[in-house]
Chain A
């Protein structure tokens, strides 16, 4: 499109981005809600200072029930069962303890049923002849995950922990919450993270690579016990081989693959954004809390790197731009300019036809080398600076 044409167009003063930009912040107040799955007890008070490993709430979920087919095992009718029971509802029984006994023909035939696990007799049915034996309660506790201050207590449910930190979101991750010291092992954002760069001393660290992590590097990092890898891209096939399963739906975080992986840009070889790379580099040696959990549908969760610190706190109040205006820095997130970074030039109001012949709302972007391209508004994300 020529500049003259652009000049004649009706343009939007501001437009919302369909894809919210990922946060890459040097300093902000990070809040983390730490919530029990069911009601329980909160162990800290508002205003308390906590370390990342401090337990903040705990509860117990009722133990697993064990169904014991007592009538069937004794060979009696369910309605006759009460006569043969040796325990009552509410009794505690130990594993192996006799719970029912049957004898016939003056004791020549004897049958008994013993408790398969320790627990409490919860129910007994004279219709099915089944007994429900409830196992010991299972304790659940949650930790603070980030060091900081308790700023809110939700009675019986959990707390909100707040800290001043650098905050970086990835686009996709696997593996759950973990911690470690940041080590940048590549020279530039373009470099691949290969296995030779991972050393035994990286055990427990959060290591940062450039454009892509290789399969060998993933394997070696897991062997050594690296906590987390942060990198621009990963090949789809490598991820499948590494996790042992093809990712179908983006609900991750439960994988047990020995480490947490945070991909900042996408799939394939993708240079980690310079801003992310520089920020991580400036915090080399600092301690970070990281989480690979990703959920893209219903309640978007993106993987995160939280680096608590005391400095730069005055920047924390900086507000994010709500929408796109001419000059807004954006990243193009789809072919044919995937990964390109530029600034919004115009936001034409009228629908325009794409090469695919779809008619959509577009914007024009000036890329880093000066070229101006037209892309669908849906295919850019705002770079939050």
Chain B
């Protein structure tokens, strides 16, 4: 039975269009393998960020009051706006994958550009926040000054974690914008159609993952001690 299936697939005239590699039996199997591989990579990313979240959890459990005191120095409006911007970018990314699946080339190009713009807006807002922290001497190691004297040392740990975690997240965003640029070039060259859209879907998975990291960073970094301030 398996022989027959393989035979039929190789007879398929759309083999060229699906970019089917010879070591896969069918386009569906190739797609499943790509998805599994991408998720395997994303699991390593979960554990990469997970290590930083574990470090955050340990120090927050040790110094809860110091961590809560940092909330008033976080800009909840900018942080919340950025959360919304990323959620919007995930919507346009999901719609971009859908456009590729339906061979809607123009919609794909527009949605990829919109997703990139959302990504760049996020990075710009993040930059504005970092710059404000820099001006307020909130960067550990660079003349760190904390207005709450009893937490002058321990609050620094939160800011170290803050710059590390938002920094690694922003780095992933920059890589994501680069990957979207690649997709955009390929889309204008008419590479993607209803039979071949794996790169759009895989980069989409990456983009959504980066959104999820921020979904956890926002409450943990911005909303810790909001109720006290």
Asked if A and B are interacting partners, one says no
Q: Which residues of B contact A (CB under 8 A)?
A: none
